[in-house]
């Protein structure tokens, strides 16, 4: 849930860094971006369920990195 919320908040922020993203990721309220987040979650869950628990840890690390980036953008440090 955190990754979806962070992605949506970043897209709605209209931060200048969004100009570096492809237009498809920003269009329609970021639906492609949210679909990408969902695909990453599903892949991580499937890998973790099929004897690759490292996928869950990698996804957790990705979530922490997203949180840190979201915090940097929200506080104006980037």
78 residues of the chain, pLDDT tens digit each? 777 888 777 777 777 877 777 777 667 767 787 888 899 899 999 999 998 989 999 989 989 998 888 888 877 777
How far is it, in rounded angstroms, from Cα 46 to Cα 42?
6
What H or E segment, with its residue span, contains residue 67?
helix 54-74
Q: What is the pLDDT of residue 66?
A: 86
| pTM metric for this prediction | 0.73
Tokens of 58: 């990698």
Domain residue limits, the chain = 2-74
Closest CA relative to residue 4, chosen from 72, 75, 67? 67
């Amino acid at each position: 849930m955190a990754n979806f919320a962070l992605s949506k908040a970043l897209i709605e922020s209209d931060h200048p860094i969004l100009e570096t993203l492809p237009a498809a990721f920003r269009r329609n309220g970021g639906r492609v971006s949210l679909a990408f987040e969902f695909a990453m979650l599903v892949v991580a869950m499937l890998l973790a369920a099929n004897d690759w628990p490292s996928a869950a840890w990698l996804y957790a690390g990705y979530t922490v990195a997203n949180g840190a980036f979201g915090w940097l953008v929200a506080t104006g440090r980037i």
